[in-house]
Amino acid sequence: MALKFGVNRCLKEVVMLELGVGADLLRGMGWIFWCSLGFITLLVVRAQSGLWNKLASVVVLLVLFSIPLWPQFVERKRHKERYTKAKALFDERCKGAGEKIYRTIQGVDGITLLNLRTGTSSERESDPKWMGAGLPKDAINDGYIESFFLWEHDAGPGNHRGYLNTTPGKAKSSGFTFVDVKQLDGSYKRYRVNTGPRKSVHDFLTHEALVSPPAQIAINYEPIGESSDREHWVAGARVTVVDTVSGETMAELKAFSFEPGLGSRAGFRSPWQFAVTCPALKGGSTLFATRFFVDQVVQPTQGK
């Protein structure tokens, strides 16, 4: 009876299996395996006479079914050991994570970006050495520049910060009027919101070569941590807000991330997109961590 109950439960679980990929697919394969074992065991036991023959048949079946599982058991054990070591490393790095704000300033028209968070889709998803992995979900490339222009909208009660988009209507605050970006050759380009006709979303900004000195308040992004950390899918980043005239560091954010799957692509995973971070990111700060940190320190001029 117990065996029949187990088989019936297997059938129900398979029928109730959600359609999809990833974890559901793996779970379904597991249920199919164990249900198959239950069916075959039931048939073999019924075909045998005598208690000892039945027990011997069950033992043989269990051994035969266990042989293919042995490599998985070994791999799971190895993964657990790697995970434990990586998680301990992440926890240790997180002791030094957090925000430090020494001075704030209000009514700032523009800022300077001393460098960009860059990356390809492939790097952002699965390269353990990707320079932007310390804040893996933050904007990259042109999107990083655009993030400093976006309008912040109220996300509702209980949310300290809102969400960002390109629509100024009903926004509770605006981004910067201009952003100066340092180029690889040492020159600067000044970016502004395109107020003319836009043929596509890629026309959100315009830029021109800058001949005057760049904005006084500058933002620097850099990866931190030991190179060996990346072998454990642990990455770090430092965002610094600097007054380029006085040389003063106005604020600093140290963040670390950890990919619990250790780079696994099973179930069509994009490893870095499953990373956890410290300090923990919530709401809009998940996708625009640098912008949400910077405008706590350098508050854009409003009403322009």
Helix, strand or coil, per DSSP, at residue 28: helix
Same domain as 117, residue 66: no
53-69 average pLDDT score: 66
Same domain as 125, residue 65: no
Q: What is the pLDDT of residues 160-211, one digit of tens each?
A: 788 898 888 888 899 999 999 999 999 999 999 998 887 766 789 999 999 9
Residue 85 covered by a domain: no
Phi, psi of 221 (to 5 degrees): -115, 135
Residue 92 covered by a domain: no
State whether the Cα torsion 11-17-23-29 is positive or negative.
positive
Residue 144 covered by a domain: yes
Same domain as 133, residue 68: no
The pTM assigned to this predicted structure is: 0.75
Same domain as 52, residue 123: no
Same domain as 156, residue 212: yes
139-162 average pLDDT score: 89
CA-based R_g, the chain, Å: 27
Same domain as 124, residue 69: no
Q: What pLDDT was estimated at residue 134?
A: 96
Which residue is it, tokens 């976006």? Answer: 150
Residue 90 covered by a domain: no
Same domain as 265, residue 166: yes
- Please state which of the ranges 66-70, 77-81, 191-195 shows the lowest mean pLDDT: 66-70
Range of the domain at 160: 98-300
Q: Binning pLDDT at 50, 70 and 90, where does residue 268 land?
A: confident
102 or 162, which is more confident: 102
Residue 82 covered by a domain: no
- H or E element, residue 16: helix 2-16
Same domain as 177, residue 32: no
Same domain as 167, residue 125: yes
Residue 91 covered by a domain: no
| Residue at a domain's end among 19, 43, 76 | 76
Name, in order, each residue with C-beta under 8 angstroms of 186's C-beta and a sequence gap of 6 or more.
none
Q: Binning pLDDT at 50, 70 and 90, where does residue 17 land?
A: very low
Residue 81 covered by a domain: no
Name, in order, each residue with C-beta under 8 angstroms of 290's C-beta and a sequence gap of 6 or more.
117, 135, 138, 139, 144, 147, 219, 221, 239, 253
Same domain as 104, residue 72: no
Residue 221 covered by a domain: yes
For the chain, the average pLDDT equals 83
Q: How many domains does the chain have?
A: 2
Q: What pLDDT was estimated at residue 85?
A: 96
| Residue at a domain's end among 76, 109, 130 | 76
